[in-house]
Structure 1
């Protein structure tokens, strides 16, 4: 059983690729969160995985909340692993999340991270097509290696250092306290397709008179609404207007 969260497809692809090699089902944390389904039963010795992107060297808030509410039965001696997708570094997210899960009876046996194309368009311009192809090619190789290690119940190939954990403890709180929605808007190119409302993991977007309106003060900042808009109409202030968008090739729009 593999739980995943994904905004623009990186982590979903990673979860599905690993799941297919392990013959394990994948479960969308965002959908489970929406359905208020937090209780699951696993078979004895069944592997349990968590796959998610790293934001500000920590887990997306929806992942953190899902984990705090998660209840799993029948998991005696289960091999529990975590795969984090990131643009550069996962910081001390491994230790941060392991503490959350430990409080709920799950001991992480292995941590893995994989570099994938960064999608944080609100902070900077995204990579060009050539760089994306190179990054995705290396990610494929990395995911295969991770899956093979999981199959034999391998151990972490890298654990966070004290400096990594300091990064998380220093930077991550800015994300948790931030995530403001004030700067989101749709420009004149909006075609009222309703996709942004449909894909928002926390229902922060509602269509009003055919236009998206952000009805929550905070969201996950997964940037799915910006990157997946088919006409690039959604912006975050003036910063994103001329920047490239990114969606994993397995997702499309």
Structure 2
């Protein structure tokens, strides 16, 4: 069983490479929206978690999901984490390990893989050629990770923590909560009122008023699925995303809940 969260598709790209045939995969976003937190994994040998790093820490929605989750599983289950990141993970893996421990779950191993950068308020999406290079290297890394999972390798195998990971997380992650302010979202006149952003939002933070999307909660997980996946590129988050290239991994076209929720 693999629990995953993805906004632009990088983490689902990882899930595609990692999952075994007929393995159950669970969308954290869909489960969160449906208030579904109880899972039967008694017959699962491996239990994985795959999600992106936000501000060198854990996405808000993932933290809330883990806080509420109840999993029935065998005592000897192998539990692993795969982080996706555009640059570095900091101590996101350590934070997640502690979150699981609070639920009485032991994290046996953690891994990380670099994928195309998509946090466009600060950075720019690499060009298509660079994206293909990054994803090609990611696919190769995921093959290695998959084999380590098959053989139940234990320990910290994350080689993407970056310099001084403890300091990265200590000073940057607290800014995440302050940055999640939905007042920064703006909608251009090019919006056609399709409503996809409402469906993509895992936090139910967007609603349509007439044909105009409005943010009805003061904060969200800041996944930016609404920004990247708007077919008209009509949504911005502050001035930092204006005229920036959007990013969607092709894996989303194969994801069961691609048009339901992230």
- Classify the TM-score, shorter chain: over 0.9
Measure the CA separation in 2 of the matches of 1:247 and 1:135. 14
Measure the CA separation in 2 of the matches of 1:212 and 1:205. 6
Q: Does 1:100 align with 2:94?
A: no
2:117–2:124: 8 Å Cα contact kept in structure 1?
Answer: no
1:226–1:232: 8 Å Cα contact kept in structure 2?
Answer: yes
**Cα offset, 1:74, TM superposition:** 2.9
Give the unaligned 5+ runs of structure 2. none
Measure the CA separation in 2 of the matches of 1:199 and 1:53. 16
Measure the CA separation in 1 of the matches of 2:122 and 2:46. 36
Moved over 2 A (4+): 155-163
1:86–1:118: 8 Å Cα contact kept in structure 2?
Answer: yes
Give the unaligned 5+ runs of structure 1. none
**Cα offset, 1:78, TM superposition:** 0.5
Aligned partner of 2:5 in structure 1 is 5
2:46–2:78: 8 Å Cα contact kept in structure 1?
Answer: yes
1:108 alignment partner, SS class: coil
Q: What root-mean-square deviation, in Å, do the aligned CA atoms of Structure 1 and Structure 2 show?
A: 1.7
Deviations 1:9-48 (A, max 9, x none): 11122123211x3642110011111111111121256211
Taking structure 2 as the reference length, the TM-score comes to 0.91
For residues 69-108 of structure 1, the aligned pairs below 5 Å read 69-108=68-107
Measure the CA separation in 2 of the matches of 1:81 and 1:60. 17
For residues 24-43 of structure 1, the aligned pairs below 5 Å read 24-43=23-42
Measure the CA separation in 2 of the matches of 1:142 and 1:34. 32
Deviations 1:63-89 (A, max 9, x none): 001111111123311100000000011
Measure the CA separation in 2 of the matches of 1:32 and 1:122. 28
Aligned partner of 1:125 in structure 2 is 124
